[in-house]
Copies of this chain bind each other. A is one copy, B any other.
Amino acid sequence: MHEDRSADLDGKHPDLIVRQAAPPNAGPPLSLLAHAHTTPTDLFFVRSHADTPTYDPHTYRLSIGGLVRRPLSLSLAELHENFPRSHIRATLQCAGNRRTELLAYGDIPGELAWGADAIGTAVWGGVSLRAVLDAAQPLEGAQHAAFLSFDQATKEGRTFPFGGSVPLAKALAGEVLLADEMNGAPLLPIHGAPLRVIVPGYIGARSVKWLAAVALQAGPSENYFQTQAYRLFPADLKDAPADAARGMMLGELSLTSVICTPGADARLPAGCVRVAGYAMAGGGRTVERVELSADGGASWRQAELGQAEPWAWRLWHATLELAPGPAQLAVRAWDSAANVQPEDYRTVWNCKGYMNNAWHRIDVIVEAQR
């Protein structure tokens, strides 16, 4: 148990690594992450830009508005009674996952120092956003669906609700849910109760927690977390520019893969070592190949791949034969469009530390057998 845990994390796994006490931000040790295709809820990472807000389930309403013919204000009971229920297994990953690996190549001030733990996979249950938007009847000109929380985030001296948006075509794809259930249990407050929009294949920031409103509009959300934050700046910008438009607005997740076990700096017996981890393709693509190197990328061995699903990560494992001495293990993945991850951290470094998907590398020591 970490001393600086906030009460918000009550019920979460005691070994979570707390990245920030308040608002609560924490992720699981990698050694615990890659054991199960579906992450147990107590190990699922927490990424909050605000303290967990309270609400009254009897008076809560979800507003559906903007460019719709028939604006809706739905109680939880109305949502349950009027729309079919569906379930989807989907991986959520924070755009800041793997940020710490970039710190060797330049400072990234003001952002949380996530390891490779800001990712998890759950079975989400709820109502398809498409069904609700169909009922509201989108008007011509609607191009984006903007989500607004009822939390209170504080950024640059202002306090306002967290928000973000996705293109309307994505919002109308069947896989986007208004979820009130996670891994077969009611969604916990820290994970977004009473309702969290789940946007599979997108950066976690678009899966807005504590959802108050969905508004269809011509352009993307004008919320700070869409217009200013979650922008990918070119590597030559050492500080975030005043003009956020110089950065790409993030949406679909990039291709990544991570070695979860052994851990960094592990001391391993010489001989055959089992290596395991996760890979995620993003945007509905699947991971089709994962390769491991124990010689700095000179040669590669194919990993065995677990279950493939468009919206979930793909777990993998491999057995490597390691000779005594220091070794660097590296992993890289290919997606179903034959893209491979970039090799060099310097290619992907950016001043906010988003979307690091360079080949994941860990140093280990292989000990001579007695």
Closest residue of B by beta carbon distance from A251: B336
Per-residue 0/1 for A336-367: is the Cβ within 8 Å of any B Cβ (1 yes, 0 no)?
Answer: 11111111100110000011010000000000
Within 8 A of B (CB), among A73-127: none
In Å, the complex CA distance between A275 and B116 comes to: 38
Copies per complex of this chain: 2
A302 within 8 A of partner (CB): yes
Q: Which of A133-141, A213-221, A282-290 contacts B (4 or more CB under 8 A)?
A: A282-290
Query: B234 and A338: CB pair below 8 A?
Result: no
Query: A250 and B347: CB pair below 8 A?
Result: no
Query: A285 and B283: CB pair below 8 A?
Result: yes
Within the complex, the shortest CB–CB distance from A296 to chain B, in Å, comes to 12
A300 within 8 A of partner (CB): yes
In Å, the complex CA distance between A300 and B350 comes to: 13
Contacts of A355 in B (CB 8 A): 338
Query: A339 and B300: CB pair below 8 A?
Result: no
Contacts of A285 in B (CB 8 A): 252, 283
In Å, the complex CA distance between A157 and B71 comes to: 65
Contacts of A342 in B (CB 8 A): 340-343
Contacts of A332 in B (CB 8 A): 347
Within 8 A of B (CB), among A213-253: 232, 234-236, 248, 250-253
Query: A234 and B289: CB pair below 8 A?
Result: yes
Query: A254 and B338: CB pair below 8 A?
Result: yes
Given contacts A234-B300, A300-B235, A343-B343, contact A288 B337 (CB under 8 A): no
Which among A232, A250, A332, A336 has the greatest number of chain B C-beta atoms within 10 A? A336
Query: A288 and B338: CB pair below 8 A?
Result: no
Closest residue of B by beta carbon distance from A358: B340
Query: A357 and B339: CB pair below 8 A?
Result: yes
In Å, the complex CA distance between A291 and B355 comes to: 18
Contacts of A348 in B (CB 8 A): 340
Q: Sample 23 A-B pairs with CB under 8 A, ordered by A number.
A: A232-B338, A234-B300, A234-B302, A236-B299, A236-B300, A248-B289, A248-B336, A248-B338, A251-B336, A251-B337, A252-B285, A252-B337, A252-B338, A254-B337, A255-B339, A283-B283, A283-B337, A338-B354, A340-B342, A340-B347, A342-B343, A343-B343, A343-B344
